[in-house]
Amino acid sequence: MTVLDEVLDKVAAATRRILELGPAAAMNEFNRKDEKTGNKD
Amino acid sequence: MPEASETGFQRSPFLIVGLGNPGLEYLWTPHNAGFMAIDRIAQQEGVVVQNRRCRATTATCRIAGREVVLAKSETFMNLSGIAVAALVEELEVDPARDLLVIYDELDLVLGTFKIRERGSPAGHNGARSVTDALATQEWLRLRIGVGRIYLPKPLRQRAASDRAEIICSRPCARRI
């Protein structure tokens, strides 16, 4: 599985979460997970 | 058209637009990550994004009980706002509440993504076009990282060649 292929599944899951619980909940769940990668924002 | 909710009020569908460039030559490029995301969501929902409206291809499905319109703009990236604004108007969508735009982001590490409720286009031509067309930065966006790879230090030297291989492979091929 390629990196991009894997992230597309997570993007689909995040999109579903936005619709289920709203953007704030989705951001809390998904924006935190990649802190270790060094993304600045 | 907005759907009737349980309370009797008309509720707009939720619009999800992926940005990219049309044409086979751009199909598997990182800049089309937004298109790939829409195709992945459509695949999981069992629909095909093929209806043409408002200078976009669309499909309708239901996610978490909500009517959702999936769309891929048929304009080139730098004119994406034309399609987004047309869809927003036709579907009577409030961009601040009922719109999600998905696009690639060079400033994010490959394999990551970020969700934000507002912000500047930060040099992305598609995001700039959407902001200009909607006359607001208040729209939800999901940016997919296509930038540098994050690797443990010993592996970083291989990053350049690996990155080309990873990005240029066909990520959705196994599921089509």
Band of residue B143 on the pLDDT scale cut at 50, 70, 90: very high
Q: Is A38 on the interface with B (CB under 8 A)?
A: yes
A4 touches chain B (CB under 8 A): yes
3-state secondary structure of B34: helix
Residues of A in contact with B116 (CB under 8 A): 27, 41
pLDDT attached to residue B37: 97
From B41, which residue of chain A is nearest by alpha-carbon distance? A12
Q: Kindly state whether residue A12 falls inside one of the protein's structural domains.
A: yes
State the maximum Cα–Cα separation within chain B, in Å, rounded to a whole number: 60
Tell me whether residue A28 is in a domain. yes
CATH number, span B3-175 = 3.40.50.1470
Q: How confident is the model at residue A3 (pLDDT cuts 50, 70, 90)?
A: confident
Rounded to two decimals, the pTM is 0.82
* CB contact (8 A) between residue B115 and residue A34: no
Q: Is A35 on the interface with B (CB under 8 A)?
A: no
Give a yes or no: residue A38 inside a domain. Answer: no
**Can you give the residue ranges of every domain in chain B?**
3-175
Mind listing the pLDDT tens digit for each residue in B40-69? 999 999 999 999 999 999 999 999 999 999
Q: State which residue of chain B sits closest to A7, comparing Cα positions.
A: B111
Per-residue tokens: A31 = 């924006």
Query: What per-residue confidence (pLDDT) applies to B173?
Result: 44
Give the count of domains, chain A.
1
Which tens digit of pLDDT belongs to each residue from B76-98? 999 999 999 999 999 999 999 99
Taking contacts as CB-CB distances below 8 angstroms, the residues of chain A near B150 are 36-38
Residue A40's pLDDT is 53
CA distances from B41 to B17, B122, B125 (A): 11, 26, 24
Say what angle helices A3-21 and A23-30 make with each other, to 10 degrees.
Answer: 140
Does A37 reside within a domain? no
Domain of residue A11 covers 3-32
- Confidence (pLDDT) at A4: 83
Active site residues of B: 31
